[in-house]
């Protein structure tokens, strides 16, 4: 009996010793535990009502969250996460949403059309047909629309009036789940490798970070903070070091 107890104690101590080394990373912590330096801070978190949270955008007062399950766009209070209103997307398999200063734009991974819709009632204002592509994220900035195309694995710069592709640059990762402008840089999230990239407007990588959650998706910037929605339904408010 004494031998069995000694063996069990040995196993318990041995398993406790091994447990930390078996963790690849600590999610919900704003740093890579192997790096030894905090590179961003999780300021707060709110929750989205989306069953399948995908794209995000900031309209100057609320955060919009795409639900890929029912193609609904939720406007959320950034402090509490309370729902302000909801709109139905004109697209099935909606993945991304962007704000151009007046209206919302939505894209889909299953359609080559992108739509501009009224931010108050969801009425379609414009439709652009891009002929080809599978679009996983959309952003508005520098007077242009920016689309993440899964087929070519590129970020496309689009004329919002004509739908013409002005320029493009390659995605540094595997799949673009979120795309936004922040502080003069592009930011891209990639759930395939749990990474958030900071890039120049020409597509050169400046910095890379491990995401705060296990499935980073949409990104947006409110003028002060970066926001990243996770597949778990959490929306992280992030402050990055310069």
Domains and CATH numbers, the chain: 2-240 (2.120.10.30)
* 232 in Cβ contact with 217 (< 8 Å): no
Residue 99 has pLDDT above 90, yes or no: yes
Residue bearing tokens 């970070």: 209
Residue 20 has pLDDT above 60, yes or no: no
Q: What percent of the chain has pLDDT over 70?
A: 84
Q: What is the pLDDT of residue 23?
A: 32
Q: What is the pLDDT of residue 38?
A: 52
Q: What is the pLDDT of residue 103?
A: 98
The predicted model scores a pTM of 0.84
Provide CB contacts within 8 A for 173, sequence distance 6+.
Answer: 188, 190, 192, 193, 195, 197
Q: What is the pLDDT of residue 40?
A: 84
**Parallel/antiparallel/unpaired status of strands 144-149 and 154-158:** antiparallel
Q: Tell me the CB-side half-sphere exposure of residue 214, using CA atoms within 13 A.
A: 7
Residue 173 has pLDDT above 60, yes or no: yes
Q: What is the pLDDT of residue 128?
A: 97
């Amino acid at each position: 009996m004494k031998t069995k107890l000694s063996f069990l104690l040995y196993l318990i101590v041995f398993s406790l010793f091994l447990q930390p080394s078996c963790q690849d990373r600590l999610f919900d912590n704003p740093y890579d535990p192997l790096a030894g330096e905090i590179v961003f801070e999780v300021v707060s978190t709110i929750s989205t009502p989306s069953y399948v949270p995908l794209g995000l955008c900031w309209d100057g007062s609320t955060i919009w969250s795409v639900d890929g399950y029912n193609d609904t766009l939720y406007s959320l209070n950034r402090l509490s996460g309370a729902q302000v209103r909801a709109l139905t997307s004109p697209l099935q398999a909606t993945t991304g949403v962007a704000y151009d200063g007046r209206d919302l734009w939505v894209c889909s991974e299953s359609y080559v059309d992108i739509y501009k819709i009224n931010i108050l009632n969801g009425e379609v204002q414009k439709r652009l047909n891009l002929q080809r592509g599978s679009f996983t994220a959309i952003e508005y900035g520098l007077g242009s629309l920016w689309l993440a195309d899964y087929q070519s694995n590129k970020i496309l710069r689009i004329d919002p009036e004509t739908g013409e592709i002005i320029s493009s640059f390659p995605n540094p990762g595997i799949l673009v789940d979120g795309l936004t402008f922040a502080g003069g840089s592009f930011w891209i999230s990639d759930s395939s490798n749990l990474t958030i990239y900071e890039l120049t407007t020409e597509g050169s990588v400046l910095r890379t970070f491990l995401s705060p959650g296990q499935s980073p998706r949409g990104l947006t910037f409110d003028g002060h903070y970066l926001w990243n929605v996770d597949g778990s339904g959490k929306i992280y408010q992030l402050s990055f070091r310069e």
